[in-house]
Amino acid sequence: MLLHLFFSLSVFLTLIDNGNAGITSSFIRNERPSVDIPLENDVFAVPKGYNAPQQVHITQGDYEGKAVLISWVTPDKPGPSQVRYGLSEGKYEFTVEGSFTNYTFYNYKSGYIHKCFLDGLQYDTKYYYEIGNGDSARNFWFETPPKVDPDASYKFGIIGDLGQTYNSLSTLQHYMNSGAKSVLFVGDLSYADRYKYHDVGVRWDSWGRFVEQSAAYQPWMWSAGNHEIEYMPFMGEVTMFKSYLYRYPTPYKASNSTSPLWYSIRRASAHIIVLSTYSPFVKYTPQWKWLREEWKNIDREKTPWLIVLIHVPIYNSNVAHFMEGESMRSVFEGWFIEHKVDVIFAGHVHAYERSYRVSNIHYNISSGDPYPVLDKAAPVYITVGDGGNQEGLASRFRDPQPDYSAFREASFGHSTLDIKNRTHAFYHWNRNDDGKKVKIDSFVLHNQYWGRNYQRRKFNKNRLHSVILNRASTAQL
């Protein structure tokens, strides 16, 4: 009963929100310098003990959520690639052997990067694990997701463009208090490419130690951004995504992908597709072919929620990076609508923005109809590239606010998507507010597959008269 009342209240609030045209938040934040935290700060502390494992992070290891991929770095010598794990703390009944590798980047030589695959796990279970030996051994835990099921509830966090500033720390700490169970990361991890020479690798290491406080305990699902490209010919480094691919493995083979940069997983009641903005994606490329096949594997009877992660937003009205997502829109938008994607999360723009359900699939170079229309079969597009990196905020939005833009604010923060069942999910964007966690943009996301029939309506080109007239139906995002 209480839950029902909460749903009703949330829907009512959504009605009110969407009865207006798009909102540009008037919130004025205090500018704090967007500088990286000094290396000697405790957030980057090297764990005690000779050659102790550091930069520990986990991600989903298979397609269904019954495996975990654990990765860490040992700085001085390889040491064991072994993970000991079990169902109670300190009692490790299972042992798995992994492997290690390392790489160089100009004159930087990485530590030994270990990777260990734990499979055959039980759903919805807490596991404890230990890595390293003797005085250098370290202990962590993680929880597996519920069985893939259409009504499995599950709370995701969404973080993008995080970096390693004090704002990044604020975002991370607020996220860790959100109760979310895993992170959907929308690209641009460490911003180590803002450094040169040896310091690039050093800042990848510090970022690994920085996010360990969360990423060692719950899976972060990775996608790559432009700051992972690291094409630096002046240093002789021209292999794209080198540091990222060595350090942040993904379970791409489980979804028949041929590249760690694009893949999919199923987790609880969600099917999550990760795409790579900076890999070829036009027709006939490997990524395009993989996605064409992957649509066939999606079963909304089992995983009602269909989520796509990309780095560059498709509908975004910030001055920064405006239209950079247009090439991917022209290739993939038709599929997003045909397959009823629920929500697309992106980063790249360092400000928050949410779209209405819109599409522009009628536009082609001869139709003469280039204006996006409200489209109930289309995804909601959310930009959450506001993790807090050293480049600072993208504080200038285009004026007037385009009709497709529902809410936008230039502040740091993170989002959560709290899936309740096959039909409803609660979404929140949380502004950091310079130290305090504040919930700002919230709505009830209605599932595209299990929701109502769709109707297509055209925008009034100047204002959202159609939205106002049809506010009841538009509200049900």
List, by residue number, the catalytic residues: 321
Q: How many CA atoms lie within 13 A of 188 on its CB side?
A: 29
Candidate list 226, 276, 355, 359; residue touching Fe ion; CB under 5 A: 226
44 φ, ψ to 5°? -110, 15
Q: Rounded to whole angstroms, how far apart are CA atoms 178 and 196?
A: 35
Q: How many CB atoms lie within 10 A of CB 64?
A: 16
Check residue 392 for interaction with Fe ion (CB under 5 A). Answer: no
Q: Rounded to whole angstroms, how far apart are CA atoms 381 and 387?
A: 17
| Minimal distance, residue 342 CB to Fe ion, in Å | 23
Q: Nearer to Fe ion by C-beta: 226 or 255?
A: 226
Q: With contact defined as beta carbons under 8 Å apart, do 346 and 380 qualify?
A: no
Check residue 203 for interaction with Fe ion (CB under 5 A). Answer: no
Check residue 340 for interaction with Fe ion (CB under 5 A). Answer: no
| DSSP secondary structure code for residue 414 in this structure | E
Q: Rounded to whole angstroms, how far apart are CA atoms 443 and 450?
A: 17
Span from 47-55, 348-356, 431-439, 455-463 in contact with Fe ion (CB under 5 A): 348-356
Q: Rounded to whole angstroms, how far apart are CA atoms 360 and 345?
A: 18
Q: Nearer to Fe ion by C-beta: 7 or 322?
A: 322
Q: Nearer to Fe ion by C-beta: 348 or 414?
A: 348
Q: Which residues contact 36 (CB under 8 A, 6 or more apart)?
A: 163, 164, 165, 191, 203, 390
Q: Quick check: helix, strand or coil at residue 188? A: coil
| DSSP secondary structure code for residue 148 in this structure | S
Using CB under 5 A as the binding rule, the residues of this chain from 182 to 201 that contact Fe ion are 188
| Minimal distance, residue 385 CB to Fe ion, in Å | 7
| Minimal distance, residue 262 CB to Fe ion, in Å | 17
Q: Rounded to whole angstroms, how far apart are CA atoms 187 and 442?
A: 23
119 φ, ψ to 5°? -125, 180
Helices (H), 267-409: 286-297, 326-338
Check residue 350 for interaction with Fe ion (CB under 5 A). Answer: no
| Minimal distance, residue 66 CB to Fe ion, in Å | 32
How many chain residues are in contact with Fe ion, going by CB under 5 A? 4
* Residue nearest Fe ion (C-beta atom): 348
Q: Nearer to Fe ion by C-beta: 271 or 348?
A: 348
| Minimal distance, residue 220 CB to Fe ion, in Å | 17
Check residue 413 for interaction with Fe ion (CB under 5 A). Answer: no
Check residue 61 for interaction with Fe ion (CB under 5 A). Answer: no
Check residue 276 for interaction with Fe ion (CB under 5 A). Answer: no
Candidate list 201, 225, 392, 451; residue touching Fe ion; CB under 5 A: 225
| Minimal distance, residue 161 CB to Fe ion, in Å | 6
Q: With contact defined as beta carbons under 8 Å apart, do 442 and 429 qualify?
A: yes
414: Cα separation from own chain's centroid: 10
Span from 67-75, 99-107, 224-232, 426-434 in contact with Fe ion (CB under 5 A): 224-232
Q: Nearer to Fe ion by C-beta: 322 or 335?
A: 322
Check residue 348 for interaction with Fe ion (CB under 5 A). Answer: yes
38: Cα separation from own chain's centroid: 26
Q: Nearer to Fe ion by C-beta: 251 or 325?
A: 325
Check residue 287 for interaction with Fe ion (CB under 5 A). Answer: no
Chain positions contacting Fe ion, by CB under 5 A: 188, 225-226, 348
